Structure formats: structure tokens, C-alpha cells
Amino acid sequence: VRFAPSPTGYLHVGGARTALFNWLFARHTGGTLVLRIEDTDRERSTESHTRVILDGLGWLGITCDEGPFFQGAYGARHQADAERLLEEGKAYRCFCTREELEAQRARAEAAGQTFRYDGRCGRLTADEVAARTAAGESSTIRFRVPDEELAWEDAVHGRISFQGRDLDDFVILRSDDTAIYNLAVVSDDIAMDISHVIRGDDHISNTPKQIALYRGLGRPLPVFAHVPMILGTDGKKLSKRHGATAVGDYQDQGILPQAMRNFLALLGWSPGEDREIMPEDEMIRLFTLESIQTKAAVFDSAKLEWMNGQYLSALPADELLEPVRRRLAQLGVSDGGRDLRPIIDAVKGRSRTILQVAERVAVRLDPSRSALDDKGEALMKKMGPAFHANLGFVIEGLAAISPDQWLAEPILDALKALAEVRGLKLGDVMQPVRVALTGSTVSEPVNELLAVVGRERSLARLREVASPRSEPGAA
């Protein structure tokens, strides 16, 4: 099998999923996965795009057995195949210029008709062709689509059939002698001995053309498997509008490659038995083309993040150390030479992305980073100034007591009473307390917390909140 992206953009999640299916299939069957970069569109292809694609695949753990090969290197073979078709009368030289074709198209459209290439150059005599060529007229090579059924047994859709008469004779070789997509693909797939072509649904309409080409070239057909497309949340083709569409974006957002791979695998494929979170070998073992969905799938990042959280909490802190440190550096937070692993362990289970883990670690390291979130804000309002007064009192007391008495019984009781007076849950009370305490997490080891409480800055904030102690409360 092969994965054949064109380096005209970043590695799209749709492309990544196609690559993944190819990889899964190759590993499941013991086959070979070759990577082929389709760079025949010279105007849009760039080296940096190729780099990004390679990096993306590597990140996802999709290992190719052969390649990368660059389609641009096979121009000679593409030409030879086109020539052969030409010699055998299965293709013909077309002297129509882009302008002429464009004009015909416009005319047809204006008349409300469907434009179809009329095959006029296909009726030129050998002499005419020779004369026009000798005169220096440039030409393309067009494939003469036979009027016959072009059908195949798709591995995911079942039988799909087209009629040759519904297809225009299409260009296979440009006037500059480079191959057009359909020819290049077929020529390369034949040369590379590809037995299974696994690609996006959007290629279904190309398949009859390619089948005609295989026949013209006298070669047996590979198995075609057309996998469903991935759509945005509005059911439209995934684009920048939908936010992140490149796998690199998710990498940047702190998604784990294992999670991304697992999630992508489940977009359009299901192993049945309600299996969702699966290790790599399990996915490989269960994967078959027949169990691929025929319907397009919507990319739901909420589920991706949930799944990422699952992987995150299962991961030893050791493996999170490096990415978290990198992120910390980006945030400008110093780890002060501390061992971050215990802190990571404490927060990873409640985070969904590495970025979130890093943020939580950052707050531990530098409590002044914490900010009032929406919920805290709302609660502060709800509870009013009198509450703040009592809260401030409690917190002042907190700051004064010795480290290992933090949240000792009396304090906790006071908070509970406070909550009761205001008709709130203890948890709600803890929210502003946390905010006042500069965002520290109470479930941290006691010492750590106290270090926070003891900070002058923190105390200053507490007093601010606590100013009028007018209303006597439970505190």
C-alpha cells in the first residue's frame, strides 16, 4: 500500500487518517507501506510542506517501509506510458489551447449547457497531427475514454460502476510533458506494485479514469478502498474556519500522539464490541477494510480532548517531564531546580492536554499566576461583601497558624459554617478561598501550600479582600 500526499499544504487530519488506515492495513496484513510525495504540481509544492508531512507522520508513529519517493522523479516513465498509449491509439494529441477550452466552457455555461470536451482532436489524421507538430504547435496528450463499463468492487463500498460515455477524454500529459495526476498515480502505483489503493472518498470519481488507464496499459487492477472523508462540525469539508485542521496544531495544543492516533482511527472505523481506547497492537490486530464506515465523519475535538485526558492520566510523570518543561519555558516559569514529577503526578489526572498539565504545574510553581476564572468571579459576586469579610478573617487566621495546621479542623469547621450561613456548598466556598490564596491547590502537600500562604504578596491580596469586618459571621 502507499500513502501519497501532495506537498501543497500541511498534513491535514484527513490525510493523517488516510495514512493511518494504510499503515494499520499494512501492519495487519504484513504488507509494505510506501510513502510517495506527489509533487507534480510544481507551482504549489514546496519542500517545507514535505518536511511537515514527514514530521507529522513520525509524530503519529506511522512508520513507512519505503520512501519517501518523489513523484517528480518519475517524469520519464510517465511520459513513456503516455507515449505508449498514444502509439496504441488509446490516446491522442490535443492542440486545443487553454484559451480555446476556456472559451468553450464559458459558452456552454452561458447557454445553460454542460460543457464536455468534444474530442475534436481525437479525429485528427496522422498527417494533420504531424503537420501541426512540425509547425511548432504545442499539444497535450488526451486519453480516449472507451465507451464501456468502468466498475470495481470497492473494499469498503462494495460494487461501484461508471459508464465511460459519461466521462470526457481527459488530459494525461501536459504540454510541458509532465503528467497529470491520474496518469502519474496509475503509472506509479503500477511501478511500485501497489496491490491496495486506500484513499479518500473524494477519489471515487477519479477511479473510473484510472481503471481505464490500467486497462489501456494492460495491467490488472489493484483493490480499491475508499475511506470516508472527515468533515468539520458544520458538516462541511474541514478547513481553517473550523480551527485546527493540521496534525501539527494538535501537537502544539498538547495532544499526545497516542491519543491522536487512537482518535483518528475511530473516525470512520470501529472494531466493534464498543472498543474505544486501544493500544497500538490491538488496533492492528482488529483492523480490516471491511469494517470501515461508508459515511463521512465529523471531527469532534471535544472527544479528542477527553481521550487525550485518558491517555494523559495513564502516563508516568517521567514521560510528561520534557514536554511540560518545554511548555514551562515558553510560559516563562522557572522550575527552580525542583523535581516536577510529583507535581505532574498530582495534576495530570485532572488535565486534558499537556498544556493544561503545564499550566497547573505553573500555578504551583508561581501562585501569582492564577487568575479568577468565570466561576470564581460569579461566586464572588453571589456571596457579597459580608462574606468576603468573614472569608478574609478566616484567611488571615490561616496565614498566621503554623504550617501543618492548614485546614485543620477548626478552620474547616469555620469554612463549613460560612458556607451554611450563605446557603452554599463547601465546595463553592473553597473556590474563592482558592482564588484568594493565589490559586494554590489544596490537595497539594501541606508544606507546599503553606509556602504559598506565607508569601507577602498573597497576604496582601487576602487583606484586600478582607477589609470590612463589619458583619459577624461564623468565622
Residues 248-307 that bind RNA (CB under 7 A): 266-270, 272, 274, 276, 291, 293-298, 300, 302-303, 306
CA distances from 94 to 89, 164, 209, 309 (A): 13, 19, 18, 58
Q: Which of 90, 237, 240, 416 is catalytic?
A: 240
Closest to RNA by CB, 256 vs 266, is: 266
- Considering only residues 193 through 252, tell me which ones interact with RNA, judged by CB under 7 A: 201-206, 228-229, 231, 233, 235-237
Closest to RNA by CB, 123 vs 295, is: 295
CB of 270 to RNA, least distance (A): 3
105 is a contact residue toward RNA (CB under 7 A): yes
- Hey, what's the cell of 273? 464490541
- Hey, what's the cell of 55? 514530521
Distance between CA 270 and CA 343 in Å, rounded? 36
Distance between CA 459 and CA 404 in Å, rounded? 18
Closest to RNA by CB, 22 vs 40, is: 40
CB atoms within 10 A of CB 371: 11
- Considering only residues 317 through 346, tell me which ones interact with RNA, judged by CB under 7 A: none
> Is-catalytic flag, 416?
no
CB 110 within 8 A of CB 56: no
Closest to RNA by CB, 404 vs 470, is: 404
110 is a contact residue toward RNA (CB under 7 A): no
CB atoms within 10 A of CB 153: 11
- Considering only residues 25 through 84, tell me which ones interact with RNA, judged by CB under 7 A: 38, 40-41, 44, 71
124 is a contact residue toward RNA (CB under 7 A): no
CB of 85 to RNA, least distance (A): 15
104 is a contact residue toward RNA (CB under 7 A): no
Closest to RNA by CB, 64 vs 230, is: 230
Question: H or E element: which one contains 247?
Answer: helix 247-252
Closest to RNA by CB, 284 vs 296, is: 296
The DSSP bridge partners found for residue 230 are: 297
Nearby residues of 224 by Cβ (< 8 Å), 6 or more positions away: 152, 154, 155, 196, 197, 207
CB of 233 to RNA, least distance (A): 7
133 is a contact residue toward RNA (CB under 7 A): no
CB of 268 to RNA, least distance (A): 4
The dihedral through the CA atoms of 363, 364, 367, 370 has a sign that is positive
Print the SS3 string covering 275-316.
CCCCCHHHHHHHCCHHHECCCCEECCHHHHHHHHHHHHHHCC
**Which of 175, 195, 288, 405 touches RNA by CB under 7 A?**
175
> SS3 helix, strand, coil % of the chain, rounded to 5?
55, 10, 35
Spell out, one character per residue from 356 to 375, where the chain touches RNA: x when CB under 7 A holds, - when not.
Answer: -----------------x-x
Distance between CA 366 and CA 343 in Å, rounded? 13
Give me the count of residues in the chain. Answer: 475
| DSSP state string for 313-353 | HHS-HHHHHHHHHHHHHHHT---TT---HHHHHHHHTT-SS
CB of 160 to RNA, least distance (A): 4
- Considering only residues 383 through 442, tell me which ones interact with RNA, judged by CB under 7 A: 407, 412, 425-428, 430-431, 433-434, 441-442
- Considering only residues 76 through 95, tell me which ones interact with RNA, judged by CB under 7 A: none
Closest to RNA by CB, 49 vs 196, is: 49
What number of chain residues touch RNA (CB under 7 A)? Answer: 87
98 is a contact residue toward RNA (CB under 7 A): yes
- Hey, what's the cell of 260? 491522536
14 is a contact residue toward RNA (CB under 7 A): no
- Hey, what's the cell of 471? 458583619
Which active-site residues does the annotation give?
Answer: 240
